[in-house]
Copies of this chain bind each other. A is one copy, B any other.
Amino acid sequence: MNLTQLEILQLLQETGYHLTKVSARMNIVQSAVSRQLLLLEDELGAPLFLRHGKRLTGPTPLGEQILAQVSTISQAKRNIKALASDMHNNQKGILHIATTHTQAKYLLPDPISRFRDKYPGVKIYIVQSSPENLIDLLHHHQADIALCTEKVSEDPKLVIRPCYQWHHVIIVPKGHALTSGELNLERLASFPILTYSRGFTGRSNIEKAFDAAGLSLDITLAAADSDIIKTYVRLGFGVGIIAATSYETGVDDDLAVRSLADLIPPSTTKFAYLKDSYLPSYTRYFIDQLIAATHHKAFADKIDAVQGT
């Protein structure tokens, strides 16, 4: 048994039990992969994969249990490399951040700029994806940390760290009926609504509030990002409900904004990362900095300014 053989097992699972693809990923020929697999099965004394003729179709029960062990081994192996490289040169590295459009556009630009000033040697990749996909990216090691708002399922393999809390606001063209008068859910529900797609940026909290009030929403447009919503609000399609952080003073001054803090429960944007994975010092710094910054008075004031309008 050696690490190469165990890597083959893991890649087999990832490629759908396809030796040829595994060999391509490992930059060696098929025959070598085939041989190593057979050698391992021989050493362990039992087949790890089911075969239709010569084709692999899936893991045996034994193979499945062993694959679970292999995944902890490969995680530990990654950690060893990360530890060493962090110790050896903690100013260089790569940081993959998985997040949604909202965070990428309105929250991250500033913290990332400051991070880049402090760690010019660290390459940053922002992987934009739908919220439901973010956690998968972590599990598949295509992202180191994820930043998301929608409720992360209780995954024992993840560490969740709350980052900041915010409220929704409505945006309407100046002069719209909703710019004056009392603002309540019932009145809001009488207008066509433009907001986030299901599973995006606190959408679940919006639904929760209206459901609790026994109201049904007429959602004219559901988008993954605030920009689309703003665009159609400007065209007069209806009332937009977006995150307070997505309203940009200076850029969005043509839109009237009113806080929904009293009507819709607050949403929390959180960091998530794999519990068993070692995070380089610069990654921990990034997380800590962002959490500190969002707890800073200036940041709170910025949100309050919008919400207090």
Chain A residues close to B by CB (< 8 Å):
1-3, 44-46, 61-62, 65-66, 69-70, 72-73, 76-77, 79-81, 83-85, 87-89, 278
- Residues on B with beta carbons closer than 8 Å to the beta carbon of A61: 87
Q: Do A84 and B72 have beta carbons less than 8 Å apart?
A: no
- Residues on B with beta carbons closer than 8 Å to the beta carbon of A81: 1, 44
Most chain B beta-carbon contacts within 10 A, residue among A66, A79, A80, A85: A80
Most chain B beta-carbon contacts within 10 A, residue among A66, A81, A85, A89: A66
Q: A76 is contacted by which of B2, B72, B278 (Cβ under 8 Å)?
A: B72
- Residues on B with beta carbons closer than 8 Å to the beta carbon of A69: 76-77, 79-80, 83, 278
Query: Given A69-B79, A69-B83 in contact, is the A88-B44 Cβ separation under 8 Å?
Result: yes
Q: A44 is contacted by which of B62, B73, B76, B80 (Cβ under 8 Å)?
A: B80
Most chain B beta-carbon contacts within 10 A, residue among A1, A66, A76: A76
- Residues on B with beta carbons closer than 8 Å to the beta carbon of A89: 45
Q: A85 is contacted by which of B45, B73, B76, B85 (Cβ under 8 Å)?
A: B45
Q: Do B84 and A44 have beta carbons less than 8 Å apart?
A: yes
A278 to B69, CA, bound (A): 10
A85 to B46, CA, bound (A): 9
A77 to B72, CA, bound (A): 10
Q: A66 is contacted by which of B45, B65, B84 (Cβ under 8 Å)?
A: B84
Contacts A/B (CB < 8 Å), 28 sampled: A1-B3, A1-B77, A1-B80, A1-B81, A2-B2, A2-B3, A44-B84, A45-B84, A45-B88, A45-B89, A61-B87, A62-B83, A62-B84, A65-B83, A65-B278, A66-B84, A69-B77, A69-B79, A69-B80, A69-B83, A69-B278, A70-B76, A70-B80, A72-B72, A72-B76, A73-B73, A73-B76, A76-B76
A46 to B44, CA, bound (A): 35
Most chain B beta-carbon contacts within 10 A, residue among A65, A70, A85: A65
- Residues on B with beta carbons closer than 8 Å to the beta carbon of A278: 65, 69
Query: Given A1-B3, A2-B2, A3-B1 in contact, is the A62-B76 Cβ separation under 8 Å?
Result: no
Given contacts A2-B2, A66-B80, A73-B73, 7 further A-B contacts (CB under 8 A): A44-B88, A45-B84, A45-B88, A45-B89, A69-B77, A69-B83, A69-B278
- Distance in angstroms from A250 CB to nearest chain B CB is 47
A81 to B65, CA, bound (A): 11
- Distance in angstroms from A109 CB to nearest chain B CB is 34
- Distance in angstroms from A251 CB to nearest chain B CB is 46
A3 to B43, CA, bound (A): 16
Most chain B beta-carbon contacts within 10 A, residue among A62, A65, A87: A87
- Residues on B with beta carbons closer than 8 Å to the beta carbon of A87: 46, 61-62
Most chain B beta-carbon contacts within 10 A, residue among A62, A65, A73: A73
- Residues on B with beta carbons closer than 8 Å to the beta carbon of A72: 72-73, 76
A87 to B62, CA, bound (A): 7
